[in-house]
Amino acid sequence: MNLHKLTLKPIFIRPEAHDTGAPILEVANLNVRYNGYMALEEISFRLNRGERLAVVGPNGAGKSTLFKVIAGVLAPTTGQVKVAGGSPGRHICIAYVPQRTQVDWSFPTTVAAAVMMGRFGKIGLLRRPARRDWEYVRECLDVVGMTSLASRQIGELSGGQQQRMFIARALAQEAELMLMDEPLTGLDVPAQEDIFRVLETLRAREVTVMVATHDLQQAAERFDRVMLLRYRLLGLGLPDAVFTAANLQQAYGGHLHLIQSENGVLAVGDTCCTGEPA
Amino acid sequence: MNALWTLLTEPLQYAFMLRGLIAVIMVGVVCAVVGSFVVLRGMAFLGDALAHAILPGVAVGYLVSGGARGALFWWGLGAAVFTALGIGAIGKGSQVKEDTAIGIIFAGMFALGIALISSVRSYAVDLSHFLFGDVLGVAAHDLWLIGIFGGLVLLIILTLYKEFTVLSFDPVLVVTLRMPATLLHYLLLVLIALAIVVSLQTVGVALMVAMLVTPAATAFLLTRRLSRMIALAALIGASAGIIGLYLSYYVSVASGAAIVLVCTGFFLLALLFAPQRGLLWRRSA
């Protein structure tokens, strides 16, 4: 809610055309300093179109900060972020899907109206949603399987439904890059499976997705690549190469119990929440 | 029936009552509409601070014009817009937390206002008018100013309704949709400032926050749609103004206080009896 932390930008922004040859996301030597400490240090990586990446790391490791910089909400101290070849602040196609706790669910609005908010960028200042915008919202709700809940008050949704509503909102935005901040945390298994089904649809639409998660096993099994983050990029690639005992030790310190088994390293009891600022 | 009619129309034979009535209706609507966004964004403290902080501006106007009322509106307007933008800038790289900074500035400005006004000998009466309003002193000229600026506030909110809605629900979304987030934030502060200046004469700075927050909070308890919440808040604000004014006429209590008390009464009723969310409803469920 703190607007002062948001970056100041030119008042009216004309979205840039995409450079289709460029990777959807390219981060180079990114550093973010926050109240005197380094929140992110020397991060460099690139993502391919349609890829599904899990971002793993303890609380306060900088996952949310990384997402906010990529979304153009937070300015990097040094370094560069390029989305489809341009700066994030000029793109309307990046969706930041917030943690469910970051929003006031008693806000007086319906599911459809909340999803419509994602279209406001396309609709533009001073215009009202047209009939085809409402049709588009309906299609987005259909993708996440929530058409029947369109006229519900948002406070009546379950955790999984809230999360899918946010994804529908990102779809309404016509996002090509979605940054999801712990969408799976606190959901039961069926609700998590609903989300994975939606992620599958997103892949078919060539939407690139970055998902912050605490679940190492899920990250290893359900994503194309994984990223291990703790202020610095400890690893990015296939789970076997990234989730090594040494890397995990470096990321979690003593908070994670690692068990060597014939299948490799198993992580047990990710007792996160070290109390560091998120 | 006839007696009730007399009861309602009798006060209106006085022109000052009629003007007061028109003023409280307009003020009630404008404050409630702006206040809906104040409530949803959790800016009640900020609204209160803003109202108090315009006192020195009003005081300077009072001193330079030698107690004439006409100039007060414009001095108040200048002070309010200036403070709104100042409050908006607080917190950027400051040493203390935002709400602490607002508290310090708000009390300091308020004290400065009182000090300035107290330099005039017979200040007590005028000070109380600034603090608690003097709706019966509203002149025809004031009605025009309230109407024009109140109308302007409503027009801007109507035009930027969808932008202010997202700003209140999810400020990060405003940025990723590349809407002018900072501009909208400052604009909302200026609209609050305008609503405050417009209501200066009816409720005064001390009770101002009630006009902004109470009708909107009451409406929030009664509906789950933003558009309905705003309409209902406007209705509650205007009716509280009317009822409060009649109360002050017949029971002879200060009009500003009466209006705010009626607002508070509405809120308590909603808190107890609102369908589903009311305290009594929940107990029986």
Better-scored residue on pLDDT, B95 or A222: A222
Predicted pLDDT of residue B133: 86
Whether the full predicted model's pTM is greater than 0.90, yes or no, is no
Cβ contact B185–A94 (<8 Å)? no
Residues on chain A touching B230 (C-beta within 8 angstroms): none
Tell me the mean pLDDT in the region A91-115. Answer: 93
Predicted pLDDT of residue A188: 92
**What secondary structure does DSSP assign to A137-178, as a single string?**
HHHHHHHTT-GGGTTSBGGG--HHHHHHHHHHHHHHTT-SEE
Predicted pLDDT of residue A274: 44
CB-nearest to B180 from A12, A117, A123 is A12
Structure tokens at B284: 């029986």
Q: Is the pLDDT of residue A5 over 50?
A: no
Q: What is the mean pLDDT of chain A?
A: 85
Q: Is the pLDDT of residue A142 over 50?
A: yes
Sorting pLDDT into bands at 50, 70 and 90, what band is A265? low
CATH 1.10.3720.10 fits B18-284, yes or no: no
Predicted pLDDT of residue A260: 57
Q: Tell how strand A232-237 and strand A94-97 pair up.
A: unpaired
Q: Is the pLDDT of residue A256 over 70?
A: no
Neighbours of A87 (CB within 10 A): 13
Structure tokens at B100: 């602490």
The tens digit of pLDDT for each residue in B167-184 reads 999 999 999 999 998 899
Sorting pLDDT into bands at 50, 70 and 90, what band is A19? low
Tell me if chain A has a CB within 8 Å of the CB of B97.
Answer: no
For residue A61, the surrounding DSSP H or E stretch is none
Half-sphere exposure of B148 (CA within 13 A, CB side): 7
CB-nearest to B177 from A68, A104, A120 is A120
Residues on chain B touching A120 (C-beta within 8 angstroms): 162-163, 166, 177, 179
**Torsion over CA of B39, B42, B45 and B47, rounded to 10 degrees?**
-50
- Model ipTM? 0.86
C-alpha B96/C-alpha B229 separation (Å) is 35
Q: Where are the domains of chain A?
A: 3-103+175-268
CB-nearest to B173 from A1, A72, A117 is A117
Strand partners, A236: A227
Better-scored residue on pLDDT, B68 or A71: A71
**Diameter of chain B by CA atoms?**
65
Number of H helices, E strands in chain B: 14, 0
Predicted pLDDT of residue A269: 52
Cβ contact B224–A153 (<8 Å)? yes
Tell me if chain A has a CB within 8 Å of the CB of B171.
Answer: yes
Sorting pLDDT into bands at 50, 70 and 90, what band is A52? very high
If you measure CA to CA, which chain B residue comes closest to A152? B224
Cβ contact B220–A110 (<8 Å)? no
Q: Which of B38, B176, B220 to mutate against chain A (most A CBs within 10 Å)?
A: B176
Residues on chain A touching B233 (C-beta within 8 angstroms): none
Tell me if chain A has a CB within 8 Å of the CB of B170.
Answer: yes
Predicted pLDDT of residue A2: 44
If you measure CA to CA, which chain B residue comes closest to A156? B224
Cβ contact B178–A98 (<8 Å)? no
Better-scored residue on pLDDT, B159 or A214: B159
Predicted pLDDT of residue A261: 56
Cα-based angle A218, A224, A225 (whole degrees, multiple of 5):
85
Residue A43: strand, helix, or coil? strand
Predicted pLDDT of residue A31: 92
Q: Is the pLDDT of residue B113 over 80?
A: yes
If you measure CA to CA, which chain A residue comes closest to B171? A1
Cβ contact B180–A123 (<8 Å)? no
The alpha carbon of residue A74 and the mean position of all alpha carbons in its chain are separated, in whole angstroms, by: 14
Better-scored residue on pLDDT, B77 or B97: B77
C-alpha B72/C-alpha A213 separation (Å) is 58
Q: Which of B161, B170, B221 to mutate against chain A (most A CBs within 10 Å)?
A: B170
Residue A7: is it exposed, middle or buried by C-beta count within 10 angstroms (0-12/13-18/19+)?
middle
Q: Is the pLDDT of residue B156 over 80?
A: yes
CATH 3.20.20.105 fits A3-103+175-268, yes or no: no
Residues on chain B touching A90 (C-beta within 8 angstroms): 178
Cβ contact B170–A89 (<8 Å)? no
